[in-house]
Amino acid sequence: MPKILIVGGVAGGASAAARARRLSEDAQIIMFERGGFVSFANCGLPYHIGGEIEDRDKLLLQTPQSFLARFNVDVRVMSEVTSIDREQKKVNVRNLADGSEYQESYDKLLLSPGAAPLVPPIPGIDNPLTHSLRNIADMDKIIRNLESKQVKHATVVGGGFIGLEMMEAFHRRGIQTTLLELASQVMTPVDREMAGFAHAEIRQHGVDLRLETALSSVEYVTPSHIGSEESLADAGSHLELQLSNDEILTTDLLIMAVGVRPETRLAQEAGLKIGELGGIWTTADLKTSDPSIYAVGDAIEEQDFVTGQSTLVPLAGPANRQGRMAADNMLGRSETYQGTQGTAICKIFDLAVASTGKNEKQLEQQGIPYQKVYVHTASHASYYPGAETVSFKMLFDPVSGKILGAQAAGKEGIDKRIDVMAVAQRASMTVEQLQHLELTYAPPYGSAKDVINQAAFVASNIMKGDLTPIHFAEIASLSSEQLLLDVRNPAELKKMGYIEGALNIPVDELRSRMSELPKDKEIIVYCAVGLRGHVAYRQLVNSGYRARNLIGGYRTWSFAQKTS
Of 92-100, 244-252, 434-442, 470-478, which segment contacts its own copies by CB under 8 A?
A: 434-442
Instruction: Please provide the distance, in angstroms rounded to a whole number, between the alpha carbons at the two ends of the chain.
Output: 61
User: Of 131, 119, 130, 9, which Cα lies nearest the Cα of 64?
Assistant: 9
Report if residue 435 touches its own copies, rule: CB under 8 A: yes
Q: Which is nearer to its own copies, 30 or 91 (CB)?
A: 30
| C-alpha dihedral (444, 446, 447, 451), degrees to nearest 10 | 150
437 binding its own copies? (CB under 8 A): yes
| Number of shown-chain residues binding its own copies (CB under 8 A) | 92
Question: Residue 423 CB, nearest distance to its own copies (Å)?
Answer: 4
**Binding pattern to its own copies, positions 233-252, x when CB under 8 A?**
--------------------
Is 381 near its own copies (CB under 8 A)?
yes
- Using the minimum distance from each CB to its own copies, give the nearer residue, 64 or 128: 64
25 touches its own copies (CB under 8 A): yes
Q: Which of residues 270-299 bind its own copies (CB under 8 A)?
A: none
Q: Does 443 bind its own copies (CB under 8 A)?
A: yes
Whole-number minimum distance, CB 562 to its own copies, in Å?
Answer: 23
Which residue among the candidates 2, 23, 43, 445 is catalytic per the annotation?
43
Distances 78 to 113, 132, 454 between C-alpha atoms, Å: 14, 20, 53
* 21 contacts: CB under 8 Å, gap ≥ 6: 27, 29, 71, 72, 73
Q: Please confirm, yes or no, whether 43 is among the known catalytic residues.
A: yes
Determine the 3-state secondary structure of 80 from DSSP.
Answer: strand
Residues 522-541 close enough to bind its own copies by CB under 8 A: 532, 534-535, 538-539
Cα–Cα distance, 402 to 417 (Å, whole number) = 17
Distance (Å, rounded) from C-alpha 422 to C-alpha 404?
10
Cα–Cα distance, 358 to 529 (Å, whole number): 23
Count of CB atoms within 10 A of residue 22's CB? Answer: 12
Pairing of strands 546-550, 469-470: parallel
Strand duo 403-410 + 389-396: pairing: antiparallel
Task: Between 238 and 417, name the residue whose CB sits nearer to its own copies.
Answer: 417
Give the residue with the Cβ less far from its own copies, 146 or 352. Answer: 352
Q: Pick the stretch among 58-66, 89-97, 214-222, 262-270 that binds its own copies (CB under 8 A).
A: 58-66
Restricting to residues 156-195, which ones interact with its own copies according to CB under 8 A? 161
User: For residues 75 and 135, what is the distance between their CA atoms, to the nearest angstrom?
Assistant: 18
> Applying CB under 8 A, does 385 fall inside the site for its own copies?
yes
Is 422 a residue that touches its own copies (CB under 8 A)?
yes
Q: Does 439 bind its own copies (CB under 8 A)?
A: yes
Question: Based on C-alpha coordinates, what's the Rg of the chain?
Answer: 27
Query: What residues from 310 to 369 belong to the interface with its own copies (CB under 8 A)?
Result: 315-321, 324, 337-338, 340-347, 352, 354, 356
Cα–Cα distance between 213 and 200 in angstroms, integer? 17
Interface with its own copies in residues 492-521 (CB under 8 A):
507-509, 511
Measured from the CB atom, is 272 or 418 closer to its own copies? 418
Please give the positions annotated as active site: 43
